[in-house]
Amino acid sequence: MSSHVDFVIIGHGLAGTALAWALLRRGRSVLVIDRERGGCSRLAAGLITPITGKRLAKSWRWGELYPAAVAFYRSLEADTGTTFFHERPALRLFATEAERVRSEQRSGIAQAPDIRADWFDAPLGGFEMDAARLDVQRYLDTSREHFESRGAYLAADVGWHSSRGTGLQTGGGFTGLETGATNPNTVAPIELTADGVRLPSLSVEARALILCRGFDATADPWFGSIAFKAAKGEILTVRIPGLAEERVVHRGIWLAPAGAEVFRAGSTYAWEPLDALPTADGRAEIEARLRAFLRLPFQVIDHQAAVRPVIDAGFPALGRHPRFPQLAYFNGLGSKGSLLAPFFADQLATHLCDGGEIEPQVNVLRFL
Ligand SMILES: Cc1cc2nc3c(=O)[nH]c(=O)nc-3n(C[C@H](O)[C@H](O)[C@H](O)COP(=O)(O)OP(=O)(O)OC[C@H]3O[C@@H](n4cnc5c(N)ncnc54)[C@H](O)[C@@H]3O)c2cc1C
């Protein structure tokens, strides 16, 4: 006997989690499935920063996306009795005279007076900006606990095969999506039915299935033609005796407090190879950039890497499959998943539940 849910979500990263909440809040039932390895959300620093880059550019649609993110994370904190969203000023140190001049020309940017000269080498000064930080691990753990307590979470690997499976009536070359849950050798294809999907091995039926898989080398059969411009990123965790800075500090890279005298520093951008292996070059780059403004010695205590799911210059991609409306997609959060996920998860949930429109700029149809 199968249990029925409204939506199955593949992926418990920032995309799938925000979408699950958005659907639950609309009174729909969900099942989130994740294979619990890989993915980049658990490595992300969760920084939400209004002004980025050498040109001091305002982050895309900040005025809409940031209030949506604040409302979303704050309301979840209230509902779950947990704290994982922190609004705190961040410090940006000028790397060049051009940056400093540009900041003077921009309204709303004021020089930061309190930059400790014994900690930071910042002869050009810097400015403070209102920013936020999502404790991604805590947010995901809290969400998972909530989903699990309602039978709405499952650890399972979803894969594809090309030779078995007869249940999917796609009419194309694809023969099935398979899941290896408790026993990886036990696989069963998802079947697309007239009014939804079925996952026989998990005894689950759903109205729709949404792929929120981030960057994955194994392209799925429906949305697999979407081209990624994915970027690998590396992060160091460092111990810096004597440093008590509470703000995230930006100067070429960022340095974010992570406990007593412990900080995370990152991150790099590389376009090949797209794997999650930390490299000597990545470490050397972060260390050099850190030394460019940090006066204190540091010791590296951890080093991680992951791949950002970039599709199109920071635009997410979302919506239903043109041929199989019981399948949908939410991906492309790039390097700003904490900021983008709440707003666009809400847009996708409205679309899935009430037929609301997906903006053309982010509609997955544009990328297929
Ligand atoms: C070094 C680095 C630093 C970053 N810093 C920040 C930051 O400061 N602020 C910020 O907002 N963003 C940051 N990001 C970006 C952020 O990590 C991404 O935008 C976000 O995590 C993408 O979320 P996602 O859910 O789309 O993908 P993922 O987090 O990759 O989640 C996809 C999930 O799907 C699961 N999955 C995939 N395939 C399957 C399958 N076949 N079966 C079952 N499960 C499957 C995976 O296990 C994974 O959990 C950073 C990224 C990197 C690499």
Residues with CB under 6 A from ligand 1: 10-16, 33-35, 37-41, 43-47, 157-159, 212-214, 216, 233, 235, 266-267, 306, 308-309, 331, 333-339
Atom of ligand 1 nearest to the CA of 39: 30
**Cα angle vertex 296, ends 295, 300, to 5°?**
125
Residue 189 above 70 pLDDT?
no
User: Burial code of 206-233, b = ≥16 C-beta within 10 A, e = fewer?
Assistant: bbbbbbbbbbbeeebbbbeebebebbbb
Tokens 């204190």 belong to residue: 296
How far apart (Å, rounded) are the C-alpha atoms in residues 183 and 200?
14
Q: What confidence score (pLDDT) does residue 105 get?
A: 81
Model's pTM, two decimal places?
0.94
Atom of ligand 1 nearest to the CA of 17: 25
Q: What is the pLDDT of residues 201-230, one digit of tens each?
A: 889 999 999 999 999 867 788 999 999 999
Q: What is the pLDDT of residues 259-302, one digit of tens each?
A: 999 999 999 999 999 999 999 999 999 999 999 999 999 999 99
Task: Give the pLDDT mean for 179-204.
Answer: 70
Q: Residues with Cβ < 8 Å from 343, sequence gap 6 or more? A: 64, 65, 68, 69
Q: Report CA(321)–ligand 1 centroid distance (Å).
A: 22
Distances in Å between the alpha carbon of 10 and those of 18, 40, 49, 296? 12, 15, 28, 44
The answer to which of 27-31, 37-41, 140-144 has the lowest mean pLDDT is 37-41
Q: Report CA(135)–ligand 1 centroid distance (Å).
A: 14
Q: Report CA(83)–ligand 1 centroid distance (Å).
A: 21
Would you give the distance in Å from CA 355 to the centre of its chain? 25
Q: What confidence score (pLDDT) does residue 259 get?
A: 94
Would you give the distance in Å from CA 87 to the centre of its chain? 18
Residue 10 above 60 pLDDT?
yes
Residue 354's pLDDT band, with cuts at 50, 70 and 90, is: very high
Task: Give the pLDDT mean for 101-121.
Answer: 84
The answer to which of 97-101, 259-263, 276-280, 305-309 has the lowest mean pLDDT is 97-101
How far apart (Å, rounded) are the C-alpha atoms in residues 75 and 57?
29
Distances in Å between the alpha carbon of 106 and those of 38, 111, 148? 40, 11, 47
The amino acid at 301: I
Task: Give the pLDDT mean for 327-333.
Answer: 97
Q: What confidence score (pLDDT) does residue 163 get?
A: 36
Token pair listed for 126: 């810097």
Tokens 């849910």 belong to residue: 5
CA-nearest residue, atom 3 of ligand 1 = 44
Q: What is the pLDDT of residues 35-80, one digit of tens each?
A: 998 899 999 999 999 998 888 889 999 999 999 999 999 999 999 9
Q: Which domains, ranges and CATH numbers included, belong to the chain?
A: 3-43+140-226+312-367 (3.50.50.60), 47-134+231-308 (3.30.9.10)
Q: Decide: 116 and 294 in contact? Cβ < 8 Å.
A: no
Residue 108's pLDDT band, with cuts at 50, 70 and 90, is: low
